[in-house]
Structure 1
Amino acid sequence: MRQRQRVILSGMNPTDNASSPAATTPLPPLSAAELRVLGCLIEKEATTPDTYPLTVNAAHVAANQKTAREPVMALEPGEVNHALRQLEAKGLARQVFSSRAERYEHRATGFFDLPRQQVALLGLLLLRGAQTVHELLARSERLCKFADADDVRHHLERLCQRQPALAVRIPRGPGQREDRYLHLLGGPVDVAAYAAAAAASAPAATGLEARVAALEEQLAQLQSQLQALLDAGAD
C-alpha cells in the first residue's frame, strides 16, 4: 500500500538558522483564531501602515472581514484578544503600548527569519488557505511586489524547503490546472487526503468567479481604508 505523505511542522536542527527563535524552539500548532489573527497582522502591516500596529478592535474587525478571507469567521472580541496574547506568548506577536489603546504587531519576520516576500505569502496562506501560484500573485499586489509567477513560485518553494517547512505543495488533482500551496502553522497535513478532498469539492473556475474575486479585493481595500480612518480618529 502506498504510504501517504504527511508533512509535519517540527523543531529545527539547532545548527540551522540559529539566530531565529524558531531554530531552537519547536512551534506548537496554532489555533484557528491564532492563525487568522496572525494573518491579519501581516496583512495590515502592508495595507494600513498608518494604523499599524493594530488595536484589539481593529484586529477583531480584520479577523471577521467578509472579503479576502477563507473561511469567513465570526470570532468574539475575547477570542481575538486571547489569540493575540497567545501569539505574544509564542513569540509571534508583540504588544506595543500607546497613549490610548493596546496595539499589537506581528514578529513573524524575525521569528522565522523570513524576507518580506515570504512573509507576505505566508500571510496570504494564513488568511485564504490553499492557493495556486497565480492566485497568490494576483492577491499579493497590496502586500508585496513580485516580478512574475516564477518569482512567487521561488519564494513558495523556499517556504516548503525550510527545516521545518512552513508550507507544502498540494499536487493538482483531476480538473485542476495548477498545484496549490498550503501553510503548515496549524499542524500536520495529510497531503494525499487533502488533495483528494479538494479535487472532489472544487468547482470549475469561471469568468464570473474571477470578476467576483476582483470585486472582493476592491471591497477589502475600501474596508481597510475605512478602518484606518476610524483608528486615526480614536487616537
Structure 2
Amino acid sequence: MEDAKPLPNLSLEEQRVLGSLIEKSRTTPDYYPMTLNSLTAACNQKSARNPVVNYDEETVTLTLDSLKIKGLISKATGGSSRVIKYKHNLGIVYPLIPSELSILCLLLLRGPLTPGEINSNAGKLYEFDSIEEVLDQLIKLSEGEPAFVKQLPKKTGQKESRFIHLLGEQSEIQETNQQAPETTIFQPNEALENRILRLEKEVEDLKEMVNLLMDK
C-alpha cells in the first residue's frame, strides 16, 4: 500500500494565501480563480481573519511562488482575460472533501477554533447540519493518515477544546486573541460587538466586490 503523502510545513504567509484561495473558491466562485490584486485584498481582510495582516503584492507573489513549488497552487490560463489568476490544489494533492476543506480553511484563516466556532463561522464555505457533524469531521481529520488537525488540551476558563491544523507553524497571536474573551473580567456588550462585526464584514465584502469588478 502506498504511503500517505506527508503534510507540508507552511509558513504563516503561505497559510494565509492558501486559506484565502480556498475561502474565495467557495464564497465567490464567479470571481475564482483570483488575480494577484484580489488575492492580496482577501489576505488583508479585517473580518474573518486572525491575526489581521497587511501584505503587499510582492509578499503575496513570493508566497505564491513557494506554494507553487510545493504543488499547492497553480496558475489559471485561458478565457478572455490576460490577467494571471491563481487557484489552490489542496483538494487535488490530498483526498479532501468540501466539508474537510472548509474546516481547514477556517483554521488557516482564524487560528484555533472549537467545533461550535467552526459551525457558526462556516457561512458560505459549507453548511454543516450540526456541531456533531463538525466534530465527526474533526475526528476524521485528526485520526487519518496523515492527520490534518489535532485537539488542544483545555486551558483554565475554557468550556470547549479547540482544534488546530497541522499544515505548519501556529501564530501565538492567534491563540492569545482566541483566549482573551474568556479571561477578560469586563465583557463588551455582545449585541453591539456582533453588530460592529457584521458592519465590518459588509464593508470588506463591498471592497472585495469593487476589487473583483476592477479585475474583470
Shift of 1:70: 0.5
Q: After the TM superposition, which residues 144-155 of structure 1 pair with which residues of structure 2 at under 5 Å, given as runs?
A: 144-155=126-137
Q: Residues of 2 paired with 1:215 and 1:143: CA distance? A: 22
Q: After the TM superposition, which residues 6-17 of structure 1 pair with which residues of structure 2 at under 5 Å, given as runs?
A: 15-16=2-3
Scaled by the length of structure 2, what TM-score is found? 0.85
Shift of 1:141: 1.8
SS at structure 2 position matched to 1:70: coil
Deviations 1:206-230 (A, max 9, x none): 5735753564356335523542343
Quick check: 1:47–1:224 contact (8 Å CA) kept in 2? no
Residue type of the alignment partner of 1:31 = S
Q: Residues of 1 paired with 2:192 and 2:154: CA distance? A: 23
Residue type of the alignment partner of 1:54 = M
User: Relative to 1, partners in 2 of residues 1:142 and 1:217: Cα closer, same or farther, differing over 3 Å?
Assistant: farther
Quick check: 1:109–1:115 contact (8 Å CA) kept in 2? yes
Shift of 1:56: 0.6
Q: Which residue of 2 aligns with 1:171?
A: 153
Q: Which residue of 2 aligns with 1:38?
A: 18
Compute the RMSD of aligned alpha carbons. Answer: 2.5
SS at structure 1 position matched to 2:66: helix
Q: 2:167 aligns with which of 185, 200, 203?
A: 185
Shift of 1:138: 0.5
Q: After the TM superposition, which residues 1-235 of structure 1 pair with which residues of structure 2 at under 5 Å, given as runs?
A: 15-16=2-3, 23-24=4-5, 26-98=6-78, 99-187=81-169, 202-204=180-182, 206=187, 208-209=189-190, 212-213=193-194, 215-217=196-198, 219-220=200-201, 222-235=203-216
User: Relative to 1, partners in 2 of residues 1:57 and 1:173: Cα closer, same or farther, differing over 3 Å?
Assistant: same
SS at structure 2 position matched to 1:202: helix
Which region of structure 1 is more displaced relative to structure 2, 175-184 or 92-101? 92-101
User: Relative to 1, partners in 2 of residues 1:148 and 1:221: Cα closer, same or farther, differing over 3 Å?
Assistant: farther
Q: Which runs of 5+ in 1 are unaligned?
A: 1-13, 17-22
Deviations 1:137-173 (A, max 9, x none): 0000211000000000111111111222111101211
Q: Which runs of 5+ in 2 are unaligned?
A: none
Quick check: 1:48–1:225 contact (8 Å CA) kept in 2? no
SS at structure 2 position matched to 1:152: helix
User: Relative to 1, partners in 2 of residues 1:165 and 1:209: Cα closer, same or farther, differing over 3 Å?
Assistant: farther
Q: Give me the identity figure in percent.
A: 35
User: Relative to 1, partners in 2 of residues 1:221 and 1:108: Cα closer, same or farther, differing over 3 Å?
Assistant: farther
Residue type of the alignment partner of 1:104 = Y
User: Relative to 1, partners in 2 of residues 1:219 and 1:81: Cα closer, same or farther, differing over 3 Å?
Assistant: same
Q: Residues of 1 paired with 2:191 and 2:69: CA distance? A: 39
Residue type of the alignment partner of 2:74 = R
SS at structure 1 position matched to 2:76: strand
Q: Which residue of 2 aligns with 1:10?
A: none
